[in-house]
Structures are given as structure tokens and as C-alpha cells.
Amino acid sequence: MDFNHTEDRRMLADTLSRFLRDTYPIEKRLEIAETDAGYSDEVWGQMAELGILGALFGEEVGGFGGAAFDVAVVFEELGKALVVEPVLANLMAGTVLAEIGSDAQKAMIEEIVGGAKKLTLAHYEPTSRYEASEVSAHLSDGKIHGTKTAVLNGGTSDGILVTVRTGGDLWDEDGISVYLVDPKGEGVSIREVPGIDGTRVAEVVLTGATGELVGPEGGAFPALEKALAIGCVALCAEAVGAMTVARDMTLDYLKQRKQFGVIIGRFQVLQHRMADVFMEMEQATSALINAAGRFDQDRVVREKNVSAAKNTIGRVGKLVAEEAIQMHGGIAMTWEYAVGHYAKRITMIDHQLGDADYHLERYMELGSAA
């Protein structure tokens, strides 16, 4: 089996890699993350012009890619540069629209692709702990009430796709609807904060908000689950990119740093530790390939491979982040040195859309249900 990317995907990766290498050094990334918005409109527009956003969606909704491998190629390069622009938020929101949106709603994906609109998905709640079907936000007299947490870039989005329970019990997959809500509308309160990794998340409180129904009432769960799945693939690819840089920086450091007059990379114990990092990263990359390669198969196969990849990435990411910090010593803890920022992002990726423990348990549940 040939695991090499197609020529188009190699060109996409090369284009994005060159753009980020030339315009997105770590110093600029840190500067952008400290701004009020937490991202750069200029960079966002340039990514749209290069076709990076279009690669995330299929031709039928205005993009030119949309396959899981297209998403993986883009996010691996984003991970190498620690990009803070809201690509993941728009990927998941756009996936929901592509799956169940009306023609008018799907037309918003073209605006995302063109860089003119930014959307996000508000799904998780304070008590849900990653469970996709646990939705307590509800309608009362036709108005939305509830609280959503960890909403990516919720404070700067032009529209928020909010999951709402319109039927069934708390954990039922049936009865979940999606509404498109204006973040500046009445009854919407947003508190956005920076994460330790430089990204932005928000708490969205809805107290009598109005919204436009997306898709069938009570039948949004399959689209939601697919959006979360492609989000996991994106995060796994981003982690592989970030781990690659952290590993290479650590290897370079071991080749230069001297202790007692000897290059520390000659110490056998450090060589063994780096060998473990290389081997584990090969496992992580293979898990990502499995998830992307089986994404278009039936739901159980897709979700099992996604959870297997997210579990592997979380476990391996912890190893890579810890080893990068420890083998660099004190320099890794300084703000000016990049490896600490990579370690933070790798660590946070494990906690987005389900951590390693959650996805291990979910993998076993899916296996027993198959």
C-alpha cells in the first residue's frame, strides 16, 4: 500500500510550508497571540488567497479538497508553525453546514473559504466531559438557554453553531438540533480567555437567544459526530507537526550542548531516550494515517480509528513534550525559546475533543458494539 501523498497534496503542503516559513516565525506567532483578537486577519486573508481554507472542504460546497488527508496535510503544517488562526473552529462548523445545512447556509462555506466569514461550533458543556451526546442546552418559548464551554475563538466569530436539545433525554443521540446564533444578538454573553498554549477559547452563555435552525430538528447528531471526528483528525495531524519540530529542536540541541567538555548527544542514555521518541512518533504518524484513510468508511470503523489515533497522539505527545523539556534543561522553560511553546500546544491538543483516557474507553465501547 502506498502511503505517499498525491502530487496535489504535496504541492499544498509545500505551498503552506513556504508561506509559514517566510511569514510566520515564532516571534510573530507570539506577538499575534497577544493581540486582542488572538489571531491575524492579514494572515487569515493570505491563507484564503493561497487556497489553504479551500482545501478543507469539498467542491460541492465551494472548496477543492475536503478529504481527511487534505485536512491532515494542512494541519500538520499548521502544527509545525504553531498557527493560532481559527482554522479548526471553521473546519468543524463548516463540516456541520456541509452535512445538514440548507443551500443558503452551505453558501457560507464559500465565505469561509474566501476568508470573509468566520464561524465556530459551540457544543461542549460544563458537565459533559467530551460526551458528544450530552446536551442540556434547550429551548424555552422558542428561545435558547444554556452554557457552552471551550468554544474555539468564540469571541471573534461571525456566527456560532450551537447544539440544543429539542427532544429525548440528556444523553440521547436523537433530539439534538443545531442553531446558527448571532454572537452579538440579544441573550448571548461571551467571555473569551487565552489558553496556556496561545489559542483562544470562550464560555458562551445563552439566556433567551434566538437562532436559525440548521438541518432537521432533533437529527443533527450524525453531522455533529462527523464534525468532531474530522476535528480530531486535524488535531492529530497538528500534533504530529508540532512533535516533529520539538523532536528536531531537541536533537539539534543534543548535538550542540556540551557538559564536562563532551557533546551531551554522545551520552548513551540520552540516545536511548531519543530513540524512544522517534519510535513512538512513528506509531503516532501511523495512527493518523489509519484515521484519515478510513474516515470515509462506515461510522463505527471511522470512529474507532479516530479514537485510536487520538489516544495514541495523546500518549505519544506527552512523552515528546516531557522529553523535549527535560533534555533541553532550564532553557526550555524560557519564554524566548520555542520548544516550551511547542510542548504547551502538544499538551493542550490531548485535552481538546477528548483526551487519551476518554478515547481509549470510547474505542473499547465501539469495539464491543461492533
Helical H segments across 123-220, by residue range: none
Quick one: pLDDT at residue 3? Answer: 62
* Full-model pTM: 0.96
Task: Please list the residues that pair with 147 across neighbouring strands.
Answer: 205
Domain with CATH 2.40.110.10 in the chain: 119-219
Collect the ranges in the chain with pLDDT lower than 70.
1-3, 369-370
Task: Name the CATH topology of 119-219.
Answer: Butyryl-CoA Dehydrogenase, subunit A; domain 2 (2.40.110)
SS (H, E, C) 77-121: HHHHHCCCCCHHHHHHHHHHHHHHCCHHHHHHHHHHHCCCCCEEE
Distance CA 116, CA 103 (A): 18
* Cα-trace Rg, the chain: 21
Domain with CATH 1.20.140.10 in the chain: 222-369
Domain with CATH 1.10.540.10 in the chain: 7-113
Q: Which architecture characterizes domain 222-369 according to CATH?
A: Up-down Bundle (1.20)
Task: Name the CATH topology of 7-113.
Answer: Butyryl-Coa Dehydrogenase, subunit A; domain 1 (1.10.540)
Encode pLDDT of 276-300 as tens digits.
Answer: 999 999 999 999 999 999 999 999 9
Task: Please list the residues that pair with 139 across neighbouring strands.
Answer: 144
Quick one: pLDDT at residue 260? Answer: 84
Quick one: pLDDT at residue 2? Answer: 57
* 325 in Cβ contact with 249 (< 8 Å): no
Report strand pairing: 119-122 vs 159-165: parallel
Which residue from 224, 213, 194 is spatially nearest to 92, judged by alpha carbons? 224
Distance CA 107, CA 93 (A): 13
Encode pLDDT of 26-73 as tens digits.
Answer: 999 999 999 999 999 999 999 999 999 999 999 999 999 999 999 999
Distance of CA 283 to the CA centre of its chain: 20
Strands (E), 153-272: 159-165, 176-181, 188-194, 200-209, 212-214, 258-259, 262-263
Residue with cell 510573530: 28
Distance CA 223, CA 233 (A): 15
